[in-house]
Amino acid sequence: MKDESNLECPIPHSLSDTIQLAHGAGGRQMRGLIERLFMPAFANPALLARHDAAVVELAGARLAFTTDSYVVSPLFFPGGDIGKLAVFGTVNDLAMAGARPSFLSAGMILEEGFPLRELERVVASMREAAAIAGVQLVTGDTKVVDHGKADRMFINTAGIGLVAHNLEIAPRSVRPGDAVILSGDIGRHGIAVLSVREGIAFESSIVSDCAPLAAPVQRLLDASVELHCLRDCTRGGLASALIEIALDGCVAIEIDEDRIPIADPVASACELLGIDPLYVANEGRFVAFVAGRDEERTLRVLRASGVCPEAASIGRVRPADGGCVTMRGALGNLRVLDLLSGEQLPRIC
């Protein structure tokens, strides 16, 4: 399914190396770690599908199962907090398998001395987010480590959802001719977190796009859109999501820069900070790869869903050598998008 020659992830070089921030950044080093260490260790069909959630069979049912740890700093940011992120993030990973999110677990690691009042705020936020997303948090665990051994609070959530369709929504289902649909404007989450972390006040306040994505995905399924792959554009942003799919699906993707919605304040902030918005994390945006003939219908369904008014068709899968993402600029120039090397925005989720 995968063409290793396209991988070009030379890290880890050697096991005498140490973990760097980049190993968790969603870019080249993280992919190297996954491909060289985790995949060989745990090789099984569900893991090898390389998707946001594993799809497994149990008692005759297809279930999606996923996990994410959240280490965002600071814990509270414009438009959200670690609790909301921990619920919606995992709900979204289930949605990206086309699953209906059902149950969540929550594992908290707390630093000794963390204020109970802040814990209460985070728990209230998780409760509200779970209600909005229609999931039940049914099991949990709390660990406390001595002061200085963790940074305030980390949360892991795992989630289970029911896969009630027969599609195989995964990178390997992507085909030349597929339309690439982006669900909304990009870059809000990363810039919102960065602004509060660095104490930068932009002209207009930028709020995280943190939101649950199961409802618009369900609309696409209900409309029988031929979905080939879905991916939320979190760590590493839109560019990394596309590159991962190009690599894992062995396809060539071409997108148009002009057609990618970016809000003016986000564009200005990125310019000011020298950051490429294509690589900035989102927490409420996804790309859908759909059969070319379903392009217009996908846009109509998403725009009518109430949560994706800016959904846009940004490109196509091309019949060319796989593993490559190119972006056509306003002047017709072609730029090859690469996985980021190093870490741009640590602890963004």
Find the binding residues for a copy of itself in span 85-104 (CB under 8 A): 102-103
Q: List the one residue from 10, 134, 138, 177 that touches a copy of itself (CB under 8 A).
A: 138
**Smallest separation, CB 110 to a copy of itself (Å):** 5
In angstroms, the CA 242 to CA 314 distance is 11
In angstroms, the CA 127 to CA 57 distance is 29
Q: Which span sits near a copy of itself by CB under 8 A: 44-52, 205-213, 243-251, 275-283? A: 44-52
Q: Which span sits near a copy of itself by CB under 8 A: 142-150, 238-246, 267-275, 295-303? A: 142-150
**Smallest separation, CB 7 to a copy of itself (Å):** 17
Q: Is 113 in the site for a copy of itself (CB under 8 A)?
A: yes
Q: List the one residue from 7, 76, 78, 123 that touches a copy of itself (CB under 8 A).
A: 123
- C-alpha distances in Å from residue 74, one per residue of 195, 232, 236: 10, 22, 19
Contacts of 229 (CB under 8 A, 6+ apart): 169, 170, 171, 173, 174, 245, 249, 288, 289
User: Could you give the 3-state DSSP secondary structure of residue 299?
Assistant: helix
Looking only at residues 143 through 182 of this chain, which bind a copy of itself when binding is defined by CB under 8 A?
143-146, 148-151, 154, 156, 158, 160, 162
Q: Is 335 in the site for a copy of itself (CB under 8 A)?
A: no
User: Could you give the 3-state DSSP secondary structure of residue 49?
Assistant: coil
Q: Which span sits near a copy of itself by CB under 8 A: 30-38, 174-182, 289-297, 332-340? A: 30-38
Count of residues that interact with a copy of itself, criterion CB under 8 A: 82
Q: Is 130 in the site for a copy of itself (CB under 8 A)?
A: yes
State the CB neighbour count (10 A cutoff) for residue 44. 10
Using the minimum distance from each CB to a copy of itself, give the nearer residue, 117 or 332. 117
**Smallest separation, CB 65 to a copy of itself (Å):** 6
**Smallest separation, CB 341 to a copy of itself (Å):** 15
Query: In what side-by-side order are the strands of the sheet with 227-232?
Result: 227-232, 286-290, 179-182, 312-318, 252-256, 324-328, 334-337
Q: Is 12 in the site for a copy of itself (CB under 8 A)?
A: yes
Structure tokens at 23: 């190993």
Q: Is 17 in the site for a copy of itself (CB under 8 A)?
A: yes
**Smallest separation, CB 95 to a copy of itself (Å):** 15
Using the minimum distance from each CB to a copy of itself, give the nearer residue, 178 or 244. 244
**Smallest separation, CB 101 to a copy of itself (Å):** 11
| Pairing mode, strands 324-328 and 252-256 | parallel
- Beta-bridge partner residues of 22: none
Looking only at residues 47 through 86 of this chain, which bind a copy of itself when binding is defined by CB under 8 A?
47, 53-54, 56, 58-61, 63, 65-71
- C-alpha distances in Å from residue 121, one per residue of 76, 84, 134, 144, 349: 10, 10, 20, 18, 18
Using the minimum distance from each CB to a copy of itself, give the nearer residue, 42 or 309. 42
Q: Is 19 in the site for a copy of itself (CB under 8 A)?
A: yes
Contacts of 243 (CB under 8 A, 6+ apart): 325, 337, 338, 339
Q: Given phi > 0 = left and psi -120 to 50 = alpha, else beta, which region is 285?
A: beta
